[in-house]
Every structure is written in C-alpha cells, then in structure tokens.
Structure 1
C-alpha cells in the first residue's frame, strides 16, 4: 500500500509539471499562429484602447479636418475621428433636437455664427473655461468679437472660435475684360470705391442678351452690412430700419431698376448654374467663398484658375460674413478627447493654416497670421494677395458688431422684406419699418427667454 501523503505529493508534482508544459506549448502555438490584426500583427495598447470621437459639420469642413487628421492621430494615437458631414441646416436642427432630448449629440459639433447665440442662450454645451479645458488661456490670441460671440451672459464659453469671414466681392477678371473694363485688382478697387461707382461698373458688365449680369441679386448690396449681425441695437431693439439700411436698400433698388442683377436667390440651383457658366460677374462672400469657388461651386471640367479676383466692399470695407465654432455637447462622455481635438485644430497655427490652405476657412486664431503664406500670391486669384487683404479687413477694418439669439429668425424676415421692396418697388423706409414690426413680433418669445439669462 502506498503512503497517502507521499502519493498526494507525487500527484501535485505531476500536475505542476503538466501545467508548465501546457503553458509553454500554448506560447509556442501562439507565436506560430497567423497575426490577428493588420500586416504586422501588432495591436499595441493605443490601438486596443482607442477612443473614437464623433464630429458633426457641413462641407467643406471634412476637407479641412482631413488636412490635419494624420497630424492629430500621430500626436494622439489613442483618439480616432469619426467625421460626419451633413447639410448646413441639418447640423443645427439635429443638434437642437439632440440637446433637447438629452441624447444623440456628437462629441464635437460645428456651429455657425448665425446660430451660435441660440445655443448660448438655450444651454446644453460644455463650458470650456472650466477644468480640464482651460480655454481662457487662448482668449487674447483670438479675434475679440469672435470670442465674445461664444460667451454666455453669465460668462461661460460654450464654443471655441474656428474661423471668421472677412468679406469682399469676388469678381470674374475675364468678364470685366469682355466688357472693356480693366480687370486688375487695383483698377477694380479704384472703380468701386462708392456705391454709385459700383452701380456704374455693374451697368457696363451687364449684357442680358448674352446671359450676363453683374450680380446674382441686388439684395447683396444690403446684405454686405447686415449678414448675420447688426439686426438689433445694443438694447436688442430691431435696427434694420436705420439710416444705413434704408440707404443700402435705395442703392439696391437703383441696381435692380438698372437691370444689373439676374434676380436669382443666392445658393439656389439657378444661381449656381449662372455662376458656373459665367453669367454672374460679381458675388459677395466671406473669405470662405474662395474655398467654395475652388471646390464644389466649380463646374466639372472647368478651369477657373487665374480668372477670379476680389475687391473690398464700397464705402465700408470692414465687413464680415459668416464664420464658425466647435463645441462639445454636455452629454458627451468623451469630453477630454473632444477637447484635445478642438485645441489641436483651432489653437495651433500650423493646424489652422493647413485647414485654411485646404478650404479658405479664415482663422480666428491671430498667431496663424504670422505665417508667410498670408503674404503670398494665390494663383487661383491671378496672383492677387487675397489673404493679406482679408487679414487687413479682419484686424484693422472690422468694427465691433452686435449679434443676438434672435438673429437667424430676424434675418429671414428682414431679407424677405428687402426682396419684397426690390420686386415691387416699395418705399425703403416704409418697408423696413414694417419689417421691424414683424421682427419684434416674431422674435419676442426668444428675446424674453434670452433676456432672462442676460439679467
């Protein structure tokens, strides 16, 4: 008979021996097995634990983000980007709905200047001044009015400035030449210093028999000073019936009566067709419009390089149209990763300038302007130094302006009355007085809600 204790010890030795052999065999088999992922078979800690952040925006932001994606993912290999583009209005409508529902928002979202005040007032966006974001460190490096637009009445910063829209008229050099006019930027600027001068040039450019007009719509003349701003005064009273608005509408009527506009709505299919086939000689737009001309507005197979130029808005060149922000919804569970992307994209001159080079989204980040690219000629614009002009407008010529949570709705009403005055030949002052009555009436609920925060 075997001793029971000794038999147990022998059994334990055998079990331990077998276990060691099994472990060794498993390691050998694993080493010989085909790689589980990728060509190298290496799945490092960063890949295994990568965080994916969802980003909402509208075209051409995807092109801008792709211009810095490789740099960002090299700096933060543990963060991946899910870039989701959708139509402009869909971004804001879906964001409002998801914030109201408390679910469904992305980790990072674009917000356009004409909509930012609605989100400032309604809440649902992360205060970027708090830890761990500490965005306040960048305040003095941003264009001042842009920072103010994203600041709530109680001091919260609910979005981070991306781009601004120093605005000019874009013009077709070849169409000026066909009309017997000088086409170089210096001469064009000299010929369009005042609105009466501008209208005289427009008359010479217009040739309806050959499907050519100076402007897509004469309402651009009014819009130069009221695009997404100055619709209300400092006390949030309607201001679109002031002396400036009446004077600009009078000039717009003069242009309409002279037949210099094609009477098509900006951004409509008809407008895009006319712009693409060379039927519109001048178009108002922010710096971002240059990116549109180089991209989705350019008809397939058409070479526009060297055919465009820009000139400043007559009489008051300090204009701005558009611009956007990036924000983090409060419901995001990946706020730190989201902030790393925003900071990398918008608070680094190199990132801002790569995106600007890709899509002409003009940086709100002032250190970006130190890059030599802002003094370089742009071949698309015939070698004109367009960026230097836009910097001068943004830094030296743009005056403080007023934005409110009611602007999106007020602008729609205002421009509908401008259109009515142009189409029906109505008295400018009377029409704009009526516009203000309607604006005050329809924006009253939003104004009251926003004023509660302001108080």
Structure 2
C-alpha cells in the first residue's frame, strides 16, 4: 500500500473511531459475478493480512442475476454490498441515477487516477453531471478472429479480410465458394462493430451528450446496409452468439470469422472450441476500425455504510490498481487489464498458443490505446434491443432501412424524454 493510501485510510478510520464508532468494521461485503468473483477471492488473503480483524465476504451470482440483485439493492437501499462489480452496460444504466457514490469525493478523490487507465474507460465511468461512479478493471478491445486454414483454402490472406469492409465481404464470397464455410455467424455482428466505429468523441452509441437520439445517422445506415448485404449474399450462418449452433459452427469449421472482444480467445480455448487450437488467428478490425466490446468496473453504493467506505475504497484500489493481481487475472482468465501500468509487461510479448503462437496481445494493446471514448447512457440496453429488432425486420422481412431507423429513432426519442 502506498503512503497516500495508508494516510488516507488511517485518517478516515481515526475520525470514525473518534466519533464513537468501531475503529475497524468486522466484515466487508463484495458482490461480483464470474470470473471477477475468482479475482476478488484471489485478492482477499493479501488484503486481509494488511487489515487484521476484517473479513471479506464475496457474494457471487451469475451475470444476469447479479445485476438484477444490484438494481434491486440500489433502488431500495437494502441488502447493499460495500463494493460491487458492474459490467459496462450496467454502468451506463446506473450512472445517471443517484445510486452510485461519486468517487471524486472523499475518501476516494479518484480523479487523480485518470491517467493510469485506458482513456476511453474514464468516459464510460462518468455521467453527464461529471461524477465518476466506477473504476475499470478489465476491457474488451475489439478484434477480428479468423480461421487461418479456411483462408488458406480460399487463397486469401488476413489483409483481404481487414483492408476494408468491402474487401471483407468480397473475401466472404470466396470463402463460401471455396470452402462452404460462412463468413460470420450472424449479420448482426457486422452491425455491432460498425455502430461502434466513427463515434464522435464524448458521444454514446445511441445517444448524444444532450440526450439526442443518434440511430438515424450515416453510422447506423452503413451498418444496416452491410448487414443486409451479408444476409442477401448468404454469407452469414444465421446463428446468434452463445447459441449451441454458434458453438458447433466454430467446432466444425463452418464459421470463418468472428468480430468480438479479445476475451473470446480465452473462451474458445477453454470450452467453446478447444480442438480448433492453432487454427485461429487475430487481426485488427476492417478499415482501421477500433471498437470496445465489453468490460468490467467496480463501484461503491451511495447509500452504503459510511463506516466501511474507506475500507471498501481501499479494497477497490487493490482490484483495479494492483499490477500483479491484474496480470495474474490476465494470464489465468484472459481478462485484459484496463490499467496501462500493465501494458509493458513481458506477458504481452508471449505467443498465444490457441492462435498458433501469434503475439496477438500486441494487436489488442494497440486497439485499447486507440479506441475512442464512448459515453454510456441509462437507456443503452433498451436501445440495443430496439436496434436489433429493427435490423431483424430488415433482414427477415425486407423492411426498408430508412423506415427501420426512423421507427427506432421515434421510439427512443420517447424513451429518452422520460
């Protein structure tokens, strides 16, 4: 623990003790989800050794159950943990309310930590009031994963895939013709990446800083057009991410590429398609695009017990600033750290066995540094559902793109006004 943290924690606990409160709380509660729960538990022994008499209880739930429980706890002010993990999409939902503690305030004063994290994550953790409501722990740099063996059979190279979006689609035609494999799992994947590119600094995916709806714009029009082209040419397998057909597509070599966060490589190697080890490679996204895909944060509830806030903040700093802990999580769980202090570690130079020995972490590190900050909004999850529904109408019913985006815009304008 650095001198500043020791002094701040000691002062805070001393003041509370002087006010007649217990000098050291006996239990600190942390709510998390897999795989963050494992990282929290790994951090506990060293942290509690520095805080004798304090026990850390880790409450672990599956991703959706965890966030449902946090929504309920924040809205009712009951059963609040001292510290909670949040997926980036939920940070946006919670940030605009008053449920999360502003980390710029004492005892945290976290604004001083800005330069230690990947720049775009700071915007994700801040709201329109300028409050900082969370600290990032891990990120998901977008990447293009592709089957090297299928490209070779089609007479193609990686440059044919990621030079441009037009080139990516053209390569898909050749892959389909020569190998029978689909270019990608679902045309929606095209949309998911394209709407994340070209976002203006400080704006969100779906809403501007002044709450304007951004879906009826050239960014979304191009995403819908390319997704429709992929579907019309029979280049997508029409299977959704995380479905059994998606998994089988990877295992049987029926899906040639996947655009998603770099974290998928760990899942592929451990349980999605471990027998395809060595067949995959990674590249940057087409046309010089850099996009974020997922990430995790830690936050303090605003109505949490003030007598434990300094301890919770101290533990949060371990989870987000402890270079050794974060690198261990990267090596063990393939969780890419948000802390830039880790970026020069030799682990980034090591070959990735699942990717045929490629030093892919160099690509992901570059992507992380070049991703544009994208503001989060409390209605992002709802907007994502609306856009996916309208895209499905375009792909399966032939709905006109202008009408689809216009309908989405009107619905989101109504929701944003609430």
- The two structures have a TM-score, normalised by structure 2, of 0.84
**Match of 2:120?**
145
Q: SS in structure 2 opposite 1:280?
A: coil
CA contact (8 A) 1:55 1:82 kept: yes
Return closer, same or farther for 1:305/1:68 CA change in 2, 3 Å cut-off: farther
- Of 109, 128, 132, the match for 1:157: 132
CA contact (8 A) 2:184 2:258 kept: yes
Correspondence 1:257 to 2:232: yes
- Of 349, 353, 356, the match for 1:382: 356
- Of 310, 325, 339, the match for 1:365: 339
CA contact (8 A) 2:251 2:275 kept: no
**Match of 1:17?**
none
**Match of 1:43?**
none
Correspondence 1:318 to 2:290: yes
The offset of 1:78, in angstroms, is: 4.3
Give unpaired runs (5+ residues) of structure 2: 1-23
**Match of 2:396?**
423
CA offset digits 1:90-123 (Å, max 9, x no partner): 2222111111111112222111222212211122
Correspondence 1:198 to 2:168: yes
Q: Aligned equivalents of 2:400 and 2:126: distance in 1?
A: 38
Return closer, same or farther for 1:297/1:70 CA change in 2, 3 Å cut-off: farther
Q: SS in structure 1 opposite 2:407?
A: helix
CA contact (8 A) 1:308 1:381 kept: yes
Correspondence 1:308 to 2:280: yes
CA contact (8 A) 2:118 2:339 kept: yes
Q: SS in structure 1 opposite 2:242?
A: coil
CA contact (8 A) 1:162 1:346 kept: yes
CA offset digits 1:389-439 (Å, max 9, x no partner): 1111121x3223332222111111012111211112332222212211122
Give unpaired runs (5+ residues) of structure 1: 1-48, 446-455
Q: Aligned equivalents of 1:131 and 1:88: distance in 2?
A: 30
CA contact (8 A) 2:43 2:318 kept: no
The offset of 1:194, in angstroms, is: 1.0
CA contact (8 A) 2:120 2:371 kept: no
Correspondence 1:216 to 2:185: yes
- The two structures have a TM-score, normalised by structure 1, of 0.78
Q: SS in structure 2 opposite 1:323?
A: strand
Return closer, same or farther for 1:59/1:152 CA change in 2, 3 Å cut-off: same
Return closer, same or farther for 1:357/1:429 CA change in 2, 3 Å cut-off: same
Quick check: 304-313 or 244-253, which moved more?
A: 304-313
The offset of 1:358, in angstroms, is: 2.0
Return closer, same or farther for 1:166/1:303 CA change in 2, 3 Å cut-off: same
- Structure 2 counterparts to residues 204-353 of structure 1, below 5 A: 204-206=174-176, 212-226=181-195, 229-298=204-273, 302-333=274-305, 334-353=308-327
CA contact (8 A) 2:34 2:60 kept: yes
Q: Aligned equivalents of 1:53 and 1:241: distance in 2?
A: 46
Larger Rg: 1
The offset of 1:316, in angstroms, is: 3.5
**Match of 2:408?**
435
**Match of 1:402?**
375
CA RMSD of aligned residues (A): 2.6
Correspondence 1:93 to 2:82: no
The offset of 1:70, in angstroms, is: 4.5
**Match of 2:3?**
none
**Match of 1:3?**
none
CA offset digits 1:339-390 (Å, max 9, x no partner): 2221112112222211122222222211111212222222222121221111
CA contact (8 A) 1:414 1:435 kept: yes
Return closer, same or farther for 1:63/1:432 CA change in 2, 3 Å cut-off: same
CA contact (8 A) 1:51 1:337 kept: no
- Of 188, 195, 220, the match for 2:158: 188
The offset of 1:208, in angstroms, is: 11
Quick check: 333-342 or 103-112, which moved more?
A: 333-342
Q: SS in structure 2 opposite 1:165?
A: strand
Q: Aligned equivalents of 1:79 and 1:429: distance in 2?
A: 59
CA contact (8 A) 1:67 1:354 kept: no
